[in-house]
Amino acid sequence: MTEQKNSDIGWGMRWPAPAKLNLMLRIVGRREDGYHLLQTVFQIIDITDGLIFNRTDDSRVRLKNTIPGVREEDDLTVRAANILKQETGYQGGVCIDIEKNLPMGGGLGGGSSDAATVLVVLNQLWQLELTELRLMELGLALGADVPVFVKGKSTWAEGVGEKLTPIDLPDAWFVVVKPSCHVDTGKIFSANDLTRDSKSIKIAGFNSGDNQNDCLAVVKKHYIEVERALDELDKYGQARLTGTGACVFVQFGDQQSAQYVYDSLVLGRETYIAQGLAVSPLHKQMSELFNF
């Protein structure tokens, strides 16, 4: 009886898939295969999508509701579950219900985070016993940001995003604005005038205030909505771009300051207030249920 009850834990409950901010982004080179070599800092924040996993009677991976314009088999969550099946030979299926709160195309990592939540949670629910390192390797095949969410901690990343080092970040609150546009990441990284030869820095350099984003100038040039949002946020502090955008943000040292700015903004855009987290809420929930 107890064994059966324990096997039901985690099914049918909401699992968080948190957003991230890139607190800086340097492009320090380019590989022969075209991939850019980066240095960046990932800050996990407390706004999340939610995923619910339900058992099925067949072997198929499917979504309860598909995203308009995205074929079910192309959805990152479905691909993540199928990668687990291919890796382990698992024969069962799952129905995934996604509560989508994070904006698509905003640079907050929503799709990557959703995929990571699938990898982490189904590895447990299906009792596959894959290591965290292997989950990160599988995640990298889905997207450069997925391993960060599998790891679930604030991270200094290098290479093409696969070399991860934990980083201690100060307590922070953020006001995040999503301009009314979708930034094409491929377009930004293929731009002729993109800086690709920034000097590498150490974590100490970032901690001393070096937080440039080498994509900023190109994004502002091609997306006037992003430039306008940055100009508006600059009134309240240093406005920054996360990744290639489109989301922009300002960092604060306390909730009250962030709340004041959030309440003051009249932008006609999606606006969020978020707290920086040292550990992903996904991993906290895993620890509470499974001693993860």
What are the extents of the domains in the chain? 2-167, 173-277
Tokens of 79: 């691909």
**Picking from 149-158, 159-168, 214-223, 245-254, which range would have the lowest pLDDT averaged per residue?**
159-168
pLDDT of residue 121: 98
In the CATH scheme, what is the homologous superfamily, with its name and number, of domain 173-277?
GHMP kinase, C-terminal domain (3.30.70.890)
Residue 266's pLDDT band, with cuts at 50, 70 and 90, is low
Tokens of 144: 């450069």
Query: 2-167, what's its fold?
Result: Ribosomal Protein S5; domain 2 (3.30.230)
| Contact criterion met (CB below 8 Å) for 152 and 292 | no
| Contact criterion met (CB below 8 Å) for 59 and 93 | yes
pLDDT of residue 68: 83
Write the CA distances from 96 to 63, 144, 182, 273, integer angstroms. Answer: 5, 22, 26, 28
Catalytic residues: 20, 145
**Picking from 166-180, 204-218, 255-269, which range would have the lowest pLDDT averaged per residue?**
255-269
Mean pLDDT of 146-164: 93
In the predicted structure, residue 234 carries a pLDDT above the cut 80: yes
Percentage of the chain beyond pLDDT 90 is 86
Distance CA 147, CA 134 (A): 10
> Minimal CA–CA distance to 119: which of 101, 156, 94, 154?
94
Query: Beta strands 61-63 and 94-99: pairing type?
Result: parallel
pLDDT of residue 3: 41
Mean pLDDT of 151-176: 94
For 50-109, the pLDDT digits (tens) are 999 999 999 999 999 988 888 999 999 999 999 999 999 999 999 999 999 998 889 999
Distance CA 147, CA 40 (A): 14
Mean pLDDT of 206-234: 96
| Contact criterion met (CB below 8 Å) for 62 and 93 | yes
Amino acid at 239: A
In the predicted structure, residue 158 carries a pLDDT above the cut 50: yes
Mean pLDDT of 248-270: 91
For 33-52, the pLDDT digits (tens) are 888 999 999 999 999 999 99
Amino acid at 128: L
Distance CA 98, CA 66 (A): 9
pLDDT of residue 204: 96
pLDDT of residue 267: 63
Distance CA 103, CA 178 (A): 8
In the predicted structure, residue 268 carries a pLDDT above the cut 90: no
Average pLDDT, the chain: 93
In the predicted structure, residue 4 carries a pLDDT above the cut 60: no
φ/ψ (deg, to 5) at 287: -65, -40
Left, alpha or beta for 163 (phi > 0: left; psi -120 to 50: alpha)? beta
Tokens of 31: 């590989």
